[in-house]
Structure 1
Amino acid sequence: MGIKVMIQWVVRLPVAQADTALRAGLKQMGASPSGPLGHIKGRTKASWSKNRNPARITVAISEHSAGAVAVVTVDAMGTKHQEILNELSATLGKGVAERVGAATKIPARPPTKAPDRTPVIAIDRSSTQPSGSSPTNARVRAPAAAVAGEEAGDDRGITEALEKLSGLSRMLARREISHLRNILDPEEQVLALGQGTYEKLQSLIVLTDKRLIFLEKGILRESVKEFQLGAISSLSLSKGWGTESLEFTVSGAKGKITQLESGQGENIANLYRQLCNTPAAKASAPASAAPAGPDVLAQLARLGQLRDAGVLTEEEFMAKKKELLGRL
């Protein structure tokens, strides 16, 4: 029909119940779902009020350790794919759908493996639910399916981080904030947020326990850039008149975040340093990130001088040289 966009959801329901819930959602959207258990097909009509073309929607459901995994594909012309996916998740009830991965556009030749990130629809079927209640009335639990025993209402630190942002920052980053859950990994925790400029784009700056993320979300565009914390070799803070800036280095390349409100950059920098100083971070750091000893090249030069002065024999020089080069 047109452009295909695919996303995966982990649903905390058995396959049969997940199938029923998604069919009900498609029916509510007017998609007339059909197909056997675990293989749903539907088609929405064009909507002039929503400026939306007709779309084919397919859902493949299979078993997952958390319940079921649903692969949802939207095939339509235009750019309303994410809007359709959002509407489908919304039919499950307000706040029920929690996605932690962005939708993926399917190329002409489909990918040979599933996307790395698996979004989650977190539905709590606890004993407090009335018998026979529909999935649309299910109570929301935390979205990260891989985290055992997490408390209801856990939003992976987003609410706490938002409380430290001013009203102006929240307003400027409102689209990014609403979209943030879509790009988080299942077990990822948000530690700090900021609103500033990166590579000439007004972006939401997100520090998690895994990454430094720059998210810019427009009406028809989305820009996400990320750096694993282990790849960041330095991060420094500078303060101006009412604003702050952060400079960081990744693989020798420098980046700069500007126009952060006073306190935002300092908060991000402090939390980043705390992460780097934790025993777990030090234990998992690559050997190349460990503090280096005396400069190897300087030692080699010194060895050459000692050899030339007759202090070291040629054999002693070559043995020590081999040892030093082995440290590189």
Structure 2
Amino acid sequence: MTATMLFFEKGVLSTNAQQVPVAHVLDVDLRQSIMQKGRGVGNIVVQVQRSGGVEWVILEDIPDPRGALSIINKVVQDARLIEQQRSNTRIYANLPSVAPGPQAATVAPTPPPAVAPDPIEQLRQLGQLRDAGILTEQEFANKKAEILSRL
């Protein structure tokens, strides 16, 4: 059993393995005969909602059946809570960022005029990069020549 699925299989000569989403479990019961009580085992009966209807699954001779029943019920309860939260959650998208009201004409702001970078400041920063070891002497010389050519 995981937080989302109940796995079970049955058979000795051939195996019938199935899995059920725990959110589809409708009911879980414990059945225990006198013989099973003496051996400390029991049958757990799980009622499952399938696409074709309701199905009963019997997990036979489960050790500590009350503990197993408690675990299954807890996982099923948690899964139902998660499903309920999902169904109660609404996702809103593309909502206006302001409350609706009279529409005012909007004018896109004009971007500030582009300011040419200061070549002296660029050379100073370039020198700092070279002094920090980030640029090689060759990279520094190439970029310096490029900046000075724009003057």
Task: Give the TM interval when normalised to the shorter protein.
Answer: 0.3 to 0.5
Greater percentage in strand: 1
- TM-score, with structure 1 as normaliser: 0.21
Greater percentage in helix: 2
- TM-score, with structure 2 as normaliser: 0.41
Larger Rg: 2
